Amino acid sequence: MAPDGSQVGVKSIEEALWLAKNLEMDLVEVSPNADPPVCRLMDYGKYKYEQSVRNREARKKQTKTVVKEVKFRIKIDEHDFQTKIRQARNFLMHGHKIKAIVMFFGREITHTELGAALLDKMIAALADVSEIESEPRREGRSMNMTLIPDKAKIKALKAAEAAAVAAETEPPAVEATPEVDDVDAGTPEREPDKKEELVEVSTDESASASAEQESKQPHDGQDEQTEPQPDESESAAEAPAPVSATEEA
pLDDT tens digits for 188-200? 555 555 445 544 5
Identify whether 194 is part of a domain.
no
Model pLDDT for residues 110-136, shown as the tens digit of each residue: 989 999 999 999 999 999 999 999 999
Same domain (yes/no): 141, 112 = yes
CATH number at residue 30: 3.10.20.80
* Neighbouring residues of 249: CB distance < 8 A, sequence distance ≥ 6: none
Q: Is residue 234 over pLDDT 80?
A: no
d(C-alpha 41, C-alpha 47), whole Å = 11
Torsion of CA 77, 78, 84, 87, to 10 degrees: -150
Q: Is residue 244 over pLDDT 60?
A: no
CATH number at residue 111: 3.30.110.10
> For position 34, what pLDDT does the model report?
82
Same domain (yes/no): 56, 95 = no
What integer best gives the mean pLDDT of the chain? 76
Same domain (yes/no): 42, 93 = no
d(C-alpha 162, C-alpha 176), whole Å = 29
d(C-alpha 208, C-alpha 24), whole Å = 129
Same domain (yes/no): 96, 44 = no
d(C-alpha 109, C-alpha 87), whole Å = 26
Same domain (yes/no): 72, 132 = yes
Q: Is residue 149 over pLDDT 60?
A: yes
Given 61, 81, 101, the domain boundary residue is 61
Same domain (yes/no): 113, 46 = no
d(C-alpha 111, C-alpha 13), whole Å = 76
Instruction: Average the pLDDT over 143-172 and give the result.
Output: 86
Same domain (yes/no): 72, 57 = no
Task: Specify the higher pLDDT residue, 232 or 128.
Answer: 128
The packing angle between helices 78-93 and 112-125, to 10°, is: 50
Cα-based distances in Å from 213 to 208, 209, 221: 9, 6, 18
Q: Is residue 172 over pLDDT 50?
A: yes
The vertex-83 CA angle with 82 and 87, nearest 5°, equals 115
Same domain (yes/no): 93, 119 = yes
Identify whether 152 is part of a domain.
yes
Identify whether 48 is part of a domain.
yes
Identify whether 149 is part of a domain.
yes
> For position 220, what pLDDT does the model report?
46
Euclidean distance between the first and final Cα of the chain, in Å?
A: 193
d(C-alpha 169, C-alpha 90), whole Å = 25
Identify whether 87 is part of a domain.
yes
Q: Is residue 79 over pLDDT 70?
A: yes
Same domain (yes/no): 54, 104 = no
Percentage of residues in the chain having pLDDT higher than 70: 66
Q: Is residue 180 over pLDDT 80?
A: no
User: Which residue segment(s) compose the domain that 108 sits in?
Assistant: 67-156
DSSP 108: G
Length of the chain: 249
CA 82 to chain centre: 28
Identify whether 91 is part of a domain.
yes
Given 156, 179, 200, the domain boundary residue is 156
d(C-alpha 114, C-alpha 143), whole Å = 10
Report, in angstroms and rounded to the nearest whole number, the Rg of the chain calculated over CA atoms.
60
Same domain (yes/no): 75, 55 = no
Identify whether 210 is part of a domain.
no
Given 36, 61, 86, the domain boundary residue is 61
Instruction: Average the pLDDT over 157-177 and give the result.
Output: 76
> For position 173, what pLDDT does the model report?
59
Q: Is residue 24 over pLDDT 70?
A: yes
Same domain (yes/no): 150, 73 = yes
Identify whether 211 is part of a domain.
no
Alpha helices in the chain (DSSP H): 13-22, 44-61, 78-93, 112-125, 151-169, 180-186, 194-216, 232-238, 245-248
Please name every residue paired with 28 in a beta bridge, in sequence order, or none if there are none: 40
Same domain (yes/no): 72, 118 = yes
The domain total for the chain is 2
